[in-house]
Amino acid sequence: MSLFLTLLYVFLCNSVSLSSSLSLHFPLTSLRLTTTTNSSSSSSSLQTSIASRRNPSQSSSSPPYNFRSNFKYSMALILSLPIGTPAQTQELVLDTGSQLSWIQCHRKKQKPTTSFDPSLSSSFSNLPCSHPFCKPRIPDFTLPTTCDSNRLCHYSYFYADGTYAEGNLVKEKFTFSNTQTTPPLILGCAAESTDERGILGMNLGRLSFISQAKISKFSYCIPTRSDRPGFTPIGSFYIGENPISRGFKYVSLLTFPQSQRMPNLDPLAYTVPLQGIRIGQKRLDIPASVFKPDAGGSGQTMVDSGSEFTHLVDVAYDKVKGEIVKRVGPRMKKGYVYGETADMCFDGNNPMEIGRLIGDLVFEFGRGVEILVERQRLLINVGGGVHCVGIGRSSMLGAASNIIGNVHQQNLWVEFDVINKRVGFAKADCSRSIP
């Protein structure tokens, strides 16, 4: 499951609660979902400690927390979180591009190794069909919830890459210690799914994890991926104040009124004002309007931790590809498309040389804020001796948006300051010890 941009929403939200009551710190691992891994081969150690100082932005009744875990490798960001009472550790994909969080609740013999057992948790409860969230709330609800034979609320959730999850909506706590838990949050309890892990939905929707848990900001630092056998990159994830946030450079989020309905707009995404793209020293001739929503919502630029590659609308993609063809066109792998969207790929074991010929890739946001993809990290190993520029064509996804994927968020702190409606960036070596 390499992309988690939701095309069909189970819920659309009207408001976001922005007060902060938790300060959590999770290390995470950059994981590639296109590669099958044996979950039994990884071990996880959980360590919870109460910090000695109190963060002034938090509720006075809730002390800050630190929480750590190590993970397996892939190109999704996988957290191991304690859920239920007593806690059961669940693997969840950190996804800023979707709303509903869901956990694995398979009851089959061949169930995922991290499947949640509701019968073992005293804080677990099902949502009945009479619950307000189990009814279509908006006229253009594309996939409404239904009642199952037990009069429980049934949901189905689909993603852009064809993956899905379906089951019942439930309420459950995230338990971080014996004394600190979140309130009961509405989650999906998946009886059927195409992935082995659940989702931690982190967008601006009212049913996202941050909205229900009343979290005002979170941040993560994704390490560079590595092809070294047996090496596991470890990064960091904070909920609440980041101790190094003073060094961040921020861009304001573009926000949209809930009454503004546009067919191609995701109003719950973290939409940023991308202004241009440079390759080497050349700023590409791409109109700034290409990166902003038009009257129908096309052209929105979002930051999505759940998408592996960056994706661009046709006008921008054609300009990027045209410049790369000028520089290294004869070396391109003809007729090859990775993931049905990315066709700037190369054979051979010389990605550093190809990157040197192309140059650095820069996404410009104005006011000196940039995402720099250095030439030595420009090409991504997709297997079989093939390396690709980590950019795909959005239209091949059936999307009309620009998406900054996690492959272009590596070695960056990325902070989502929800209460101040901004996103911060800071260059970092994300493989180093956590501050």
Residue 141 has what pLDDT?
33
Query: Is residue 314 among the annotated active site residues?
Result: no
pLDDT digits 0-9 by tens, 208-238: 999 998 888 999 999 988 777 767 788 888 8
Peptide bond into 351 cis (omega under 30): no
Query: Is residue 417 among the annotated active site residues?
Result: no
Residue 113 has what pLDDT?
59
- From the list 161, 195, 266, 304, the catalytic residue is 304
Nearest to 208 by CA among 9, 55, 7: 9
pLDDT digits 0-9 by tens, 28-64: 444 443 433 333 333 333 333 333 333 333 443 444 4
Q: CB neighbours of 37 closer than 8 A, spacing ≥ 6?
A: 31, 72, 73, 74
Please give the model's pTM, rounded to 2 decimal places. Answer: 0.84
Please give the helix or strand (H or E) that residue 322 lies within, else none: helix 314-328
User: How would residue 303 be classed by pLDDT, with cut points 50, 70 and 90?
Assistant: very high
Residue 342 has what pLDDT?
96
Q: Which domains does the chain have, with CATH numbers?
A: 24-29+71-215 (2.40.70.10), 243-427 (2.40.70.10)
- From the list 95, 195, 266, 417, the catalytic residue is 95
**What are phi and psi for residue 107, nearest 5 degrees?**
-115, 10
pLDDT at 25 over 80: no
